[in-house]
Amino acid sequence: MLAVTFLGTSAARPTVERNVSAIALVREGETLLFDCGEGTQRQMMRYGVSFALKEIFFTHFHADHYLGVIGLVRTLGLQGREEPMTLFGPPGASRVLSRAIELGYERAPFPVEIKELEPGTRLERRGYDLEVYAVDHARGAVGYAVREHERLGRFDPARAEALGVPEGPLWGRIHRGERVVLPDGREVGSAELVGPSRPGRLVVLTGDTRPTASVVEVAKGADLLVHEATFTDDERDRAAETGHSTAREAAGVAKAAGALQLALVHVSARYSANPSGLLDEAREVFEKTVVAKDGMTMEVPFREG
């Protein structure tokens, strides 16, 4: 399973309907947290996101994206956590986060490692890569992409039976690309029984950004693009001044990238209770758009094939 849960979808400050920035991505039982705005720990409890996460990834260090790590670390410490945690962020992360996690402590209550990531960094994981790319916002701000590795092609059991390959371990070996020798001496390989490899899934999260070519490039063919949309188009000058995007601009990025679906986040307080203007504007450009709300979970299925 690959799913994204939106823990905070408001821009700059919380509202009655929305908390500030935080997104949890769960893949095959592993939880990754992207940004950790004030109150994220409560949102995790409210929406059933596990505290067993090992890593938090920060896009930049404006207060609405990282202040929640103070309370989260304190709460985990009070719960007796002993497992280490790693905090990732753009250059400057060590200075900002080391101060935050030690607030109220002489030292963090469990091992916390801080790692700084430059755009272009690729973290290789089991079954996927986590890519770091530059965005156009605060100095050094980054976005993240979770790109799964290609999957094996489909195995054809009917064809295997017709060729006399006995069901069992030989099927698995052939599916993994091996050539096997049958009891009668014939050799059979994956070319005869396995279809072409299939793409993994791609989820791209921008954090705060202006519409920019770097997002289009990394999000080409994305199964889900999570892009900020702080304003509607009548505030496009304000968006440009503050380093943000309008809903129409975010939709243009999704369209240019050929993404399958777009989720809008970082909603200004003026639209918090009624984001229909954002949605209508974006769908004029890119139909497969939703405005995320706190507590929403979007599952990302495998593509057919």
- By DSSP bridging, strand 22-27 and strand 112-116 are unpaired
Cβ neighbours of residue 137 closer than 8 Å, sequence gap 6 or more: 59, 60, 207, 208, 209, 210, 243, 244
**Could you say which DSSP state residue 246 is in?**
B
d(C-alpha 296, C-alpha 42), whole Å? 15
**Dihedral of the alpha carbons of 134, 148, 112, 207, in degrees to the nearest 10:** 30
Instruction: Report how far apart, in Å, the C-alpha atoms of 292 and of each of 9, 48, 119, 190 are.
Output: 7, 17, 26, 43
The catalytic position among 64, 208, 223, 294 is 64
113's enclosing H/E stretch is strand 112-116
Report the b/e string of 19-37 with b at 16+ CB within 10 A.
bbbbbbbbbeebbbbbbbb
97's enclosing H/E stretch is helix 93-101
Residues facing residue 289 across a β-bridge? 262
Q: Is 233 a catalytic residue?
A: no
Instruction: Report how far apart, in Å, the C-alpha atoms of 55 and of each of 63, 88, 136, 147 are.
Output: 19, 7, 24, 17
Count of residues making up the chain:
305
Residues facing residue 264 across a β-bridge? 227, 291
Q: Which sequence positions are flagged as catalytic? A: 64
